[in-house]
Amino acid sequence: MQQKIKDVSNQFEKDIAQVENLNSLEEVRIKYLSKKGLFVKLFEEFKSLPKEEMPKFGSLLNQTKNSVQASIDALRDKLEKSGKEAEKYIDLTLPGKDVDIGSKHILIQTLDEMKSIFKSLGFSVYEGPELESDYNNFEALNFPPDHPARDMQDTFFVTEDFLLRTHTSPVQIRLMKNGKPPFRAIMPGKVYRNEAISAKSYCLFHQVEGLYIDKNVTLAELKGTLIAFVKQFFGNDVKYRFRPSFFPFTEPSAEMDIWWEPKDKPGRWLEILGCGMVDPNVLENVGIDPEEWVGYAFGIGVERNALRKYGIDDIRLFFDNDKRFLTQF
Q: Are residues 18 and 141 in the same domain?
A: no
Whole-angstrom distance, CA of residue 253 vs CA of residue 271? 14
Residue 101 lies in a domain: no
The pTM of the whole model exceeds 0.75: no
Residue 93 lies in a domain: no
Q: Are residues 187 and 76 in the same domain?
A: no
Q: Are residues 257 and 162 in the same domain?
A: yes
pLDDT digits 0-9 by tens, 205-239: 899 999 999 999 999 999 999 999 999 999 999 99
Residue 94 lies in a domain: no
Q: Are residues 222 and 268 in the same domain?
A: yes
| Whole-angstrom Cα Rg for the chain | 39
Number of domains in the chain: 2
Q: Are residues 126 and 257 in the same domain?
A: yes
Domain boundary (88, 122, 145) is at 88
Strand-pairing partners, residue 259, are: 269
Cβ neighbourhood burial of 180 (10 Å; 0-12, 13-18, 19+):
exposed
Backbone angles phi, psi at 13, to 5 degrees: -60, -35
pLDDT digits 0-9 by tens, 237-268: 999 999 999 998 999 999 999 988 777 778 88
Q: Are residues 190 and 238 in the same domain?
A: yes
Residue 255 lies in a domain: yes
Which residues, including other chains, have CB under 8 Å from residue 60's CB and lie 6 or more apart? 2, 5
- Concatenated DSSP letters of 244-290: EEEETTEEEEEEEEEEE--TTS--EEEEEEEEEEEPHHHHHHTT--T
pLDDT digits 0-9 by tens, 53-111: 777 767 777 888 888 888 888 888 887 777 665 556 566 787 877 777 778 899 999 99
Residue 96 lies in a domain: no
Give the pLDDT of residue 150: 60
Domain boundary (88, 118, 136) is at 88
Give the pLDDT of residue 149: 64
Q: Are residues 56 and 188 in the same domain?
A: no
Q: Are residues 79 and 194 in the same domain?
A: no
Whole-angstrom distance, CA of residue 241 vs CA of residue 259? 8
Written as one letter, the residue type at 245 is S
Mean pLDDT across the chain: 86
Residue 114 lies in a domain: yes
Q: 174 is in which domain, residue-wise?
A: 106-326
Give the pLDDT of residue 207: 93
Q: Are residues 128 and 259 in the same domain?
A: yes
2 pLDDT above the threshold of 80: no
β-bridge pairing 240-247 and 162-164: unpaired
Give the pLDDT of residue 297: 95
Give the pLDDT of residue 136: 92
Domain boundary (22, 57, 88) is at 88
Q: Are residues 34 and 163 in the same domain?
A: no
3-state SS class at 188: strand
Upstream peptide bond of 148 is cis (omega within 30 degrees of 0): no
Give the pLDDT of residue 83: 66
pLDDT digits 0-9 by tens, 123-177: 999 999 999 999 999 999 988 777 666 665 578 989 988 999 999 999 999 999 9
